[in-house]
Amino acid sequence: MKILIVDDEPLARSRLAALVRELPGCEVAGEAGNGIQALEQVQALEPDVVLLDIRMPGMDGIEAARHLSTLETPPAVIFTTAYDDYALAAFETCALDYLLKPIRQERLARALESCHRLTRAQLAALQEAGARGSAAAQTEARSHISARVKGGLRLVPVEDICFFHADQKYVTVGYLDGEVLIDESLKSLEKEFGDRFVRIHRNALVARARIMGLEKDRGGRCRIILRDCARRLEISRRHLPDIRRQLR
Amino acid sequence: MKQPEKQCEHMYLPDLCGVRTVLTLVVVAELFVFVLALGTPAGSEVDRWTRLGLISLFVQWITLFSSSLLCLARRHLCRLRAPGVTLVAFAIILGTTALFSELTWWLYYRVVFHHPHAWHYDFLARNLLVATIVSGLVLRYFYVQQQWKRNLRAESESRMQALQARIRPHFLFNSMNTIASLVRTAPDTAERTVEDLADLFRAALGDERKLIPVSEELALCRRYLDIEALRLGERLQVDWSLAPLPDSARIPPLCLQPLIENAIYHGIEPRTEGGRLVVRAAADDRQVVLTVRNPLAGDGTGDGARRQGNQLALANIRERLAVHFGEAAQLRMEEEDGCFVVTLVLPATPPEETPT
């Protein structure tokens, strides 16, 4: 069984690696120091199990797990934590297993035997439940959006995103370096990122901070001008007064 | 039944649907009846025992009827504050009393004794007055009892919080994990870390009302930072800039350490690249100034939550400083070119120490 160890503390990683090596049939595939590295390593090393610390700088474990779950063949995930009041409560509500540090070897062995993939619904619920009771630095919204592209996962930082535009089946994410498709609903995105993005049409959300102005096209419809974004999305009549108010 | 109870914690009336409470009420009401029966001379038209029986019947009817009404109304009463609850309780009790007084008068004087006008209003008024006084006393008792329970709980909670404000559980468990790791690879460092941790906990569990020399507190902070340095590795850099301090300078134990812990928890740990922590101590004849400076989290996550987490420790430190030094000590926080700076000002000589 190939295992990836993710923790921001080198000493915590080395202890966990030592424990894993002592277990028959288990090997350490690699180590990562934060969520983003973890995603890269998972794609490069294709481990069977990821031991994922919850509190990490950059991208925390819960968000990393959410992105992992969008992979075609996601690894199983076991969360580890030293002490996180709110997170543990969230884990109980979502009936997820976790390991408390310092981790006991027999506990680790048991968790590795019975571990399984987490479902996306479980993870979304987890993040929401965690955010509600959180007094720590975690927030409900993800820091990145993940899109499956050819050859792996692309992570788009939320601050780079200009708009979300819903087509037939997918949502197009327009960001500084181009566009990607994701399989999420505008409604859930609006719920999660409501403080950063505003709805301008039944089919579009745009970054509040990027709104520069409005223009009328030849058909007389109102379109929005976004900073660092060539595409001019249409504003529906219903949302126009709202956007005008924000521009003032 | 459990669910409404949970939301009803602020309400001072006990759960009158419970058997125990009702039994208590019945006993109290019966004692009250004894007082009434003993307080009047016996032997006019009915003897003492009959009188006792009749008053009991009357009073118990009112007690049971009004407590069942209060039991039924409990869910709605939960939405009210204490004065509202009192008002409704009075209305229910007095209404019940009036109803049973009328019934009794009608049955007893008209049907049994055919005294159509005997003291009708006098009877009603006396009953209402007695009911007001007695239910007032009972409600007051319930109220005081609930306040007492609440104070007890608040006190134990605040003690727990005070301890957690000085040493975060987060730190304890992470340190344990660090030690567990070092035991295999670097037993000497593990040993030293256990000693450091023991010193910190001795200070945290010791008498928090006592003052210690500032230099001693700085030594504790160094122990603390040694442990964190093991955990965070290269991500934590610490600059110490300590001017000589007057020997007389005193501080309540673990007032500076939580500020450094906050700085690490909110300023260093959330940053992938880590950061530099600056601890500075300066002094003149009048005061000692300690500052802790850390970079802001940077990614802007959970700014509000960050402050919230801080509040507990900060409030605790402020309180302890105020107890010892009054206005002479200050705790200030400000943001300064991308850094968060906490400044702790102490008097160079503490006011007259109270003899122990």
Q: Which residues of B touch A83 (CB under 8 A)?
A: 169-170, 172-174
Q: What is the ipTM metric for this complex?
A: 0.76
Look at residue B251 in the predicted model and tell me its pLDDT.
92
Whether residues A139 and B270 touch (CB distance < 8 A) is answered with: no
In one-letter notation, the amino acid at residue A160 is: D
Q: Which of A15, A37, A139 to mutate to test the interface with B (most CBs of B within 10 A)?
A: A15
| CATH of range B169-347; options 3.30.420.40, 3.30.565.10, 3.20.20.70, 3.40.50.1360 | 3.30.565.10
Mean pLDDT of chain A: 86
Question: Measured between alpha carbons, how far apart are the two ends of chain B, in Å?
Answer: 52
Question: Is the pLDDT score of A138 beyond 50?
Answer: no
A88 in contact with B, Cβ within 8 Å:
no
CA–CA separation, B94 and B102 (whole Å): 12
Q: Is the peptide bond before A57 cis (omega within 30 degrees of 0)?
A: no
Q: What are the pLDDT digits (tens) for B167-196?
A: 778 889 999 999 999 998 999 999 999 999
List, in sequence order, the alpha helices (H) in chain A.
10-22, 35-45, 61-68, 85-94, 105-114, 120-132, 186-193, 240-247
Model pLDDT, residue B303: 43
Which pLDDT does position A39 carry in this prediction? 93
Residue A139 and residue A127: Cα distance in Å, rounded?
8
CA A94 to CA A63: how far, in whole Å?
A: 15
pLDDT band at B43 (very low <50, low <70, confident <90, very high): low
B281 touches B243 (CB < 8 A): yes
CA dist., res. B276 & res. B260, Å (int): 12
CA A138 to chain centre: 12
Q: With an 8 Å Cβ cutoff, is A196 touching chain B? A: no
pLDDT score at B3: 43
DSSP-assigned beta bridge partners for residue B240: B279
Q: Please report the pLDDT score of residue B45 as a whole number.
A: 56
Asked if the model's pLDDT at residue B151 lies above 60, the reply is yes
Distance in angstroms (rounded) separating the CA atoms of residues A211 and A116: 43
Alpha helices in chain B (DSSP H): 2-7, 19-39, 48-77, 82-104, 120-166, 169-185, 187-205, 214-232, 257-262, 303-325
pLDDT of residue A135: 40
Residue B232 with chain A: CB contacts under 8 Å: 9
Question: Domain map of chain B by residue range?
Answer: 2-156, 169-347
Question: What percentage of chain B has pLDDT greater than the value 70?
Answer: 87
- Higher-pLDDT residue of B266, A165: A165
pLDDT value at B207 more than 90: no
Residue among A58, A84, A137 minimizing CB distance to B302? A137
Give the orientation angle of helix A10-22 with respect to helix B214-232, to 10 degrees.
50
Q: How far apart are CA B10 and CA B18, in angstroms?
A: 18
Kindly state the greatest CA–CA separation across chain B: 101
**B305–A136: do the CB atoms touch at under 8 Å?**
yes
Share of chain A above pLDDT 90, in %: 42
Residues in chain B: 356
Name the nearest CA neighbour of B30 among B68, B64, B62, B59.
Answer: B59
CB contact under 8 A, B169 and A83: yes
For residue B304, is pLDDT > 50? no
Residue A192: band (very low, low, confident or very high) from pLDDT cuts 50, 70, 90? confident
Look up residue A59 and give its amino acid.
M
* Residue A34 sits at the chain B interface (C-beta within 8 Å): yes
Residue with tokens 């309540």: B252
Query: Across the interface, do B181 and A83 touch by the CB < 8 Å criterion?
Result: no
Tens digits of per-residue pLDDT, A43-81? 999 999 999 998 888 888 888 988 888 888 889 889 898
What is the average per-residue pLDDT within A218-238? 90
- Residue A3: is its pLDDT beyond 60? yes
CB A77 within 8 A of CB A50: yes
As a whole number, the mean pLDDT across chain B is: 84
Interface-testing mutation among B301, B303, B308, B314, with chain A (most A C-beta atoms within 10 A): B301
Q: Higher-confidence residue: B72 or A119? A: B72
Partners of residue A178 on adjacent β-strands: A175
- Whether B26 shows a pLDDT value over 70: the answer reads yes
Distance of CA A57 to the CA centre of its chain: 14
Residue B352, pLDDT score: 65
CA distance B8 to chain A (A): 21
CA separation for the pair B247, B261 (Å, rounded) = 25
pLDDT tens digits for B101-142? 888 888 877 677 666 666 778 888 988 999 999 999 999 998
Cβ atoms of B60 and B30 closer than 8 Å: yes
Tell me how far apart the alpha carbons of residues B329 and B310 are, in angstroms, rounded to a whole number. 19
Nearest CA in chain B to A15: B181
DSSP state for residue B109 in the 8-state scheme: I
Residue B180 is nearest to which of A55, A102, A138, comparing CB atoms?
A102
DSSP strand pairing (A76-81 vs A49-53): parallel
How confident is the model at residue A107, as a pLDDT? 92
Q: Which domains does chain A have, with CATH numbers?
A: 2-132 (3.40.50.2300), 161-247 (2.40.50.1020)
Identify the band that residue B7 occupies on the pLDDT scale cut at 50, 70 and 90.
low
Q: Which strands form A233-234's sheet, in the order they lie side by side?
A: A211-216, A222-226, A233-234
Q: What is the pLDDT of residue B323?
A: 84
Among the partner-chain residues B170, B181, B302, the one whose CB lies closest to the CB of A83 is B170
Q: Is the pLDDT score of A22 beyond 90?
A: yes
- Cβ separation of B177 and A11 shorter than 8 Å? yes
Q: How far apart are CA A75 and CA A3, in angstroms?
A: 9
